[in-house]
Amino acid sequence: MLFWIVAGCLTLVVVATLLRAQFRGGEQARPAAAYDLDVYRDQLREVERDLERGVLSPADGERASTEVSRRILAADAALKNATNGAYSGRSGPLLAVVTAVVLVGGSFAIYLELGAPGYGDLALADRIEAAQIRRAERPSQETAQASVPESPALDAAPDYVALVERLRQAVQARPDDLQGLVLLSQSEARLGNFAAAHDAKARVIRLKGEDATAQDFSEYADLLILAAGGYVSPEAEQMLERTLAMDPRDGAARYYFGLMMSQTGRPDTALRIWDQLLREGPVDAPWIAPIDAQMQDIALRAGVDYSRPTIGTGRGPTQDQIDAASDMSPAERMEMIQGMVAGLSDRLATDGGPVEDWTQLISALGVLGDLDQARAVFENAMEVFGDDLTAIDMLNRVADRVGLQ
Burial of 82 (C-beta count, 10 Å sphere; 0-12/13-18/19+): middle
SS (H, E, C) 265-308: CCHHHHHHHHHHHHHHCCCCCCCHHHHHHHHHHHHHHHCCCCCC
Of 114, 5, 363, the C-alpha closest to 214 is 363
Q: How much is the pLDDT for 302? A: 87
pLDDT in single tens digits along all 405 residues of the chain: 676 787 778 878 887 887 777 666 554 556 677 777 788 888 888 888 878 887 778 887 788 888 878 888 887 787 777 666 554 444 556 666 777 788 778 877 887 776 666 656 656 677 788 888 999 999 999 999 999 987 766 677 888 889 999 999 999 999 999 999 999 999 999 999 999 999 999 999 999 999 999 999 999 999 999 999 999 999 999 999 999 888 888 999 999 999 999 999 999 999 989 998 888 888 889 999 999 999 999 999 888 888 888 887 654 555 555 555 556 666 665 565 556 555 666 666 566 667 877 787 787 777 667 788 788 888 888 888 877 777 787 888 888 877 786
What's the CA gap between 306 and 298, in Å, rounded? 9
pTM: 0.56
DSSP 370: -
What's the CA gap between 133 and 151, in Å, rounded? 31
Q: Residue 343: count other Cβ atoms within 10 Å of its Cβ.
A: 13
Burial of 43 (C-beta count, 10 Å sphere; 0-12/13-18/19+): middle
Tens digit of each residue's pLDDT (9 = 90 or more) over 166-197: 999 999 999 999 999 999 999 999 999 999 99
DSSP 329: -
Q: In the chain, what's the furthest Cα-to-Cα distance?
A: 137
